[in-house]
């Protein structure tokens, strides 16, 4: 059996699928692409059992075939080629002969029977969202996901359909982020948790194109042009996050985001490696940030212009967490809504983008005496 394809067209196809091929796995079959030629269409798939990617293009072929081929070897061969036509000759002896104008390359293929079946997600419920909007929502939340496996639900990002819009929530117990896209109001409240690995792969695929999303209890499917991305969902109940969001934070600190971010990055150089602590000393329209590395005898402090309405307060934060939050917020000005040095603070942009609502929560740290 024989088929032909342009090298650069095939390279683009394989580049979309290769992220689903695991670099290390006890199941050797997963290190392959699944090639299926059926009725003039070539579909290439890969999976690591948690995520799967597949895409198709038209080819001229004599007959249908289904086989598995070594993923990284084939990808490396194809992307090393110049822009040329590639001829695949599939022999019955388990060998593929790849011919170009420069040379001949041989590799083995295997029957497809042992390749895991990729989940099929029902297309009954469809959500269509712009790729850049989805990318923004995931980027502004997923950084706060937990790295601890003790609470599996928190290692993913919650996607929640609600009356106020499509909510994206992530927390690791020290910080919490809630992003709402108000364009997607829903009469029914449904929750789905997308794992960290799926989000990291999905973010690289998102752009201007609209994304069709299909969801079941166990899987999510994202279709972007000719690419389908399927992910297993985390089958846990997400913690009741609303109960930890304070309602009584009456002290408002408004500050230039980039100016404070720049100061925090300098404080990171001076904060003790264990505590990573930065101190906010807040008074009437005054903010002093300071850090001290007791182990190395170094310290730093800076005064930052601000507006403050509330009682004077000294409050400590983890420098890394403040840096993460300020890096993922947009807009010139942010407001810290504070209650006391021992209660959670809310950090928000002074002005949200149209049809968006962003809230970030940060737990304080105990100040060194």
What pLDDT score was predicted for residue 369? 61
What pLDDT score was predicted for residue 295? 80
What pLDDT score was predicted for residue 322? 97
Q: Does domain 2-111 have CATH number 3.10.150.10?
A: yes
What pLDDT score was predicted for residue 298? 87
Cα(280)–Cα(293) distance, integer angstroms: 16
Cα(34)–Cα(43) distance, integer angstroms: 8
CATH number, domain 126-243, options 3.30.460.80, 3.40.50.720, 3.10.150.10, 3.30.360.10? 3.10.150.10
Q: What is the helix (H) or strand (E) element at residue 301, kind and residue range?
A: strand 298-304
Mean pLDDT across the chain: 93
Q: Are strands 32-38 and 313-318 parallel, antiparallel or unpaired?
A: unpaired
> DSSP secondary structure string, 152-211?
GGGGEEEEEEETTEEEEEEE-SSEEEEEEETT---SS-EEEEEEHHHHHHHHHH-SSSEE
CB neighbourhood size of 367 (10 A): 15
Instruction: Choose among 82, 78, 25: nearest CA to 51.
Output: 25
Q: In what order do the strands lie in the sheet with 165-171?
A: 190-195, 156-162, 165-171, 175-181, 356-362, 345-349, 333-338, 251-256, 306-309
Q: Which two tokens stand for residue 12?
A: 């683009």
State residue 56 phi and psi, 5-degree precision.
-135, 155
Q: Within the chain, what is the greatest distance between any pair of CA atoms?
A: 81
Fold of 245-362: DNA Polymerase III; Chain A, domain 2 (3.10.150)
Contact 252, 336 (CB under 8 A): yes
**DSSP H stretches of helix in 39-126:** 71-80
Contact 178, 171 (CB under 8 A): no
Please list the ranges in the chain whose pLDDT falls under 50. Answer: none
pTM to 2 decimals? Answer: 0.91
Q: Which residues of the chain does CATH 3.10.150.10 include? A: 2-111, 126-243, 245-362
pLDDT per position as a tens digit, 137-178: 999 999 999 999 889 999 999 999 999 999 999 999 999 999
Q: Classify 259 as helix, strand or coil.
A: helix
């Amino acid at each position: 059996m024989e088929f032909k394809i342009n090298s650069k067209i095939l390279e683009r196809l394989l580049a979309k699928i290769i992220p689903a091929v695991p670099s290390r796995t006890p199941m050797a079959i997963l290190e392959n692409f699944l090639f299926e030629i059926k009725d003039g269409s070539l579909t290439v798939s890969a999976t690591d059992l948690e995520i799967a990617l597949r895409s198709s293009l038209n080819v001229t072929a004599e007959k249908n075939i289904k086989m598995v081929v070594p993923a990284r070897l084939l990808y490396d061969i194809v992307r090393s080629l110049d822009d040329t036509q590639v001829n695949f000759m599939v022999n019955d002896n388990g060998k593929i002969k790849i011919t170009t104008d420069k040379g001949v390359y041989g590799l083995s293929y295997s029957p497809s029977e042992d390749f895991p079946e990729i989940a099929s997600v029902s297309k009954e419920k469809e959500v269509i969202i712009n790729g850049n909007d989805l990318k923004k929502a995931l980027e502004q939340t997923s950084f706060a996901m937990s790295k601890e496996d003790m609470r599996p639900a928190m290692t993913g990002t919650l996607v929640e359909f609600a009356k106020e819009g499509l909510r994206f929530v992530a927390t690791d117990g020290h910080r919490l982020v809630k992003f709402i896209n108000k364009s997607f109001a829903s009469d029914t409240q449904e929750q789905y948790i997308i794992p960290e690995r799926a989000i990291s792969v999905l973010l690289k695929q998102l752009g201007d194109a609209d994304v069709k999303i299909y969801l079941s209890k166990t899987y999510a499917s994202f279709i972007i042009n000719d690419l389908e991305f399927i992910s297993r969902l985390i089958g846990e109940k997400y913690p009741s996050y609303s109960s930890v969001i304070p309602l009584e934070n009456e002290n408002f600190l408004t500050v230039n985001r980039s100016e404070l971010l720049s100061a925090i990055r300098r404080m990171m150089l001076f904060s003790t490696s264990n505590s990573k602590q930065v101190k906010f000393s807040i008074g009437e329209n005054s903010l002093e940030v300071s850090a001290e590395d007791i182990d190395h005898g170094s310290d730093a402090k800076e005064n930052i212009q601000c507006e403050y309405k509330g009682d004077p307060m000294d409050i400590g934060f983890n420098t890394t967490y403040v840096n993460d939050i300020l890096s993922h917020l947009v807009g010139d000005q942010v407001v810290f809504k504070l209650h006391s040095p021992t209660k959670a603070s809310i950090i928000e942009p002074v002005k949200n983008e149209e049809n968006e609502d962003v809230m970030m929560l940060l737990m304080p740290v105990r100040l060194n005496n």
